[in-house]
Structure 1
Amino acid sequence: MAIRQPEADEAARIREVVENSMTTSFTLSPGQIGAVTDEQFADDAVAERLGDENTVFRVAETGAEIEGEAIAGVVEGRLEGDRGEVNWLFVDPEHRGRGIGTELYETVTETLRDRGAETLCVTVLEANTEGHGFVERFDLEHADDRRVDIADESLVKYVYAEPDVDADLPSDSTDADVSEDEFPEAEAEDGSLTMTDVGQTVYIDRDEPESGTAASFYVTYEDADLTEQYGFYCANCGSLDISMDNMDRLECGDCGNAHAERSGEAYDESYL
């Protein structure tokens, strides 16, 4: 396997890898995946990355162990001042289990360090149910959330950073923090976010997000101390009508926002 910078005319294969990986590992609809792929890895977007001296864009190319040679993985990172940020990492499902993800991650982070990065962070779309576990294997911690607009979709990125490092994102300067404005129908009350359901006030724990296809779900409690769980809140429409199946998957009864459980058991070690 070789890690190298791609050529501009390889954009079509890069998009194929990205789409295959997202289809396997992301809780997004096919339409959402296609839109994100087409925007972020279009021919001109790939060419722009290759021409940007602050961007590290690499692909993994398989060798003789697989018939022919093919791009099997993609990674992109960016340097802003003394901060390095890994934004995207994809491995084609057919090529997983060979350490490609680890090789790509180590290559991009080492390159960013060599170029002057003193600290590193990694952003992972909330909908990437397997990517979170992969990042946590490198001793990074979930430090912050950012809401970003990609292909006309409002999506949430989890920010993973080294312990005790400020997770502010230099290359996402247009992104806004996930704030009270992202909680429809909720009201601020003495520093808490509350909802009223059939005459009962419940409290939303913003520190307990669960990934959803349209927006996050949040655990709700009956008391301000967050000790007695009430249920869940949908940040897409503001509903408390959330059901859970026997696989611990959530679904909003009002808007259809759905959830795929992310846990240590769900993590796919074939990324490494």
Structure 2
Amino acid sequence: MEVREAKPNDRPAIRDVARRSLQASYSLDPKAIIGAIEEWYDENRLRNLMEDDNKVLLVAIVDDQVVGFSDSEVTGENTAEILWLHIDPDYRGEDIGIQLYKATQNHLATLGTSNLRGRVLADNPGGNAFYENRGLVKVGEEEVTIDGTPYVENVYAQVEAEQMEEVQLDDGTTVYVDHGNEETGSIAPFHVVYTDRNGEDIFGYWCSKCESLANAMDAMGRIQCDECGNARKPTRWDAAYL
């Protein structure tokens, strides 16, 4: 198996793998799957993915055929997220997903990211188990809208206790700021905040510009600090919104 960066002529195969993977892994309405593929992997977005230095689109090749791909993004100075990792159902059980994951992790590391996060819909036991088996910990849940319907998305992360700073909020609540896990903001980075030192549940985000808590996020993953206006762009595409 070969893993390489996606090329323009891979686009039809990428869409086909995504469609087959979504059909096999999720109990989504067929209309929602079609809408998701058209929005997330249409010609323009795939072209932008391949041209954006902060986005990584890798494909797994077997016998000159695209059988899987990973869609990732650098979200902070040393943090990256795997938004999707799809494997053609006919090629599952052959460790292709593991090899693609490792290749993606290594590629992101060359971009200066040491903290890796992964996202997977809650309605995919196999996908959730995949990240858990790679040593990532579920740190929270967010909402993603697919063709107008909201779904729960689990967020997994590499969590190290020594990176945590204990912070007491004005109401007496104790939270833990992970200085090794950050998101790019329009003014300064946001750091992920957890309810416990082990990083089991996300509480919100810490704005490093004004050192205040920003725990409001909309369905598309947009974060904004009410104190200084620092903002993180959306992480998801919402077909109904666009």
TM-score by structure 1 length? 0.58
Q: Deviations over 1:54-77 (max 9, x none)?
A: 1111000102xxxxx210001011
Residue in 2 that maps onto 1:158: 154
Rg: which structure is higher? 1
CA-CA distance at 1:175 after TM superposition: 4.6
Distance 1:163 1:98, change over 3 A: same
Q: Is the Cα contact below 8 Å between 1:143 and 1:161 reproduced in 2? A: yes
For 1:121-140, list aligned pairs within 5 A: 121-140=117-136
Q: Which letter maps to 2:99?
A: E
Q: Deviations over 1:170-226 (max 9, x none)?
A: 379995379xxxxxxxxxxxxxxxxxxxxxxxxxxxxxxxxxxxxxxxxxxxxxxxx
Is 1:7 the counterpart of 2:7? The answer is yes
Residue in 1 that maps onto 2:218: 176
Distance 1:116 1:12 in 2: 30
Distance 1:106 1:30 in 2: 31
Is 1:97 the counterpart of 2:93? The answer is yes
Distance 1:19 1:130 in 2: 17
Q: Which letter maps to 1:92?
A: D
Is 1:54 the counterpart of 2:54? The answer is yes
Is 1:146 the counterpart of 2:188? The answer is no
CA-CA distance at 1:129 after TM superposition: 3.0
Aligned partner (choices 102, 108, 113) of residue 117 of structure 1? 113
1:176 is paired with a residue of what secondary structure?
coil
Is 1:70 the counterpart of 2:112? The answer is no
Identity %: 26
Distance 1:96 1:169 in 2: 32
For 1:215-234, list aligned pairs within 5 A: none
Q: Is the Cα contact below 8 Å between 1:22 and 1:128 reproduced in 2? A: no
Residue in 2 that maps onto 1:249: none
Q: Is the Cα contact below 8 Å between 2:25 and 2:124 reproduced in 1? A: yes
Distance 1:83 1:125, change over 3 A: same
Q: Deviations over 1:102-139 (max 9, x none)?
A: 11111111111121112111111222232001111111
Q: Show structure 2 runs of 5+ residues with no match.
A: 162-177, 191-215, 221-242
Aligned CA RMSD, in angstroms, stands at 2.5
Q: Which letter maps to 2:98?
A: T
Residue in 2 that maps onto 1:16: 16
Distance 1:35 1:169 in 2: 31
Q: Is the Cα contact below 8 Å between 1:55 and 1:79 reproduced in 2? A: yes
Q: Is the Cα contact below 8 Å between 1:145 and 1:177 reproduced in 2? A: no
Q: Which letter maps to 1:45?
A: R
Residue in 1 that maps onto 2:39: 39
Distance 1:150 1:51 in 2: 25
Find runs of 4+ consecutive structure 1 residues off by over 6 angstroms. 171-174
CA-CA distance at 1:84 after TM superposition: 1.1
CA-CA distance at 1:41 after TM superposition: 0.9
Q: Deviations over 1:80-118 (max 9, x none)?
A: 221111111000011112211011111111111121112
Q: Show structure 1 runs of 5+ residues with no match.
A: 64-68, 179-272
Greater shift after overlay, 52-61 or 95-104? 95-104
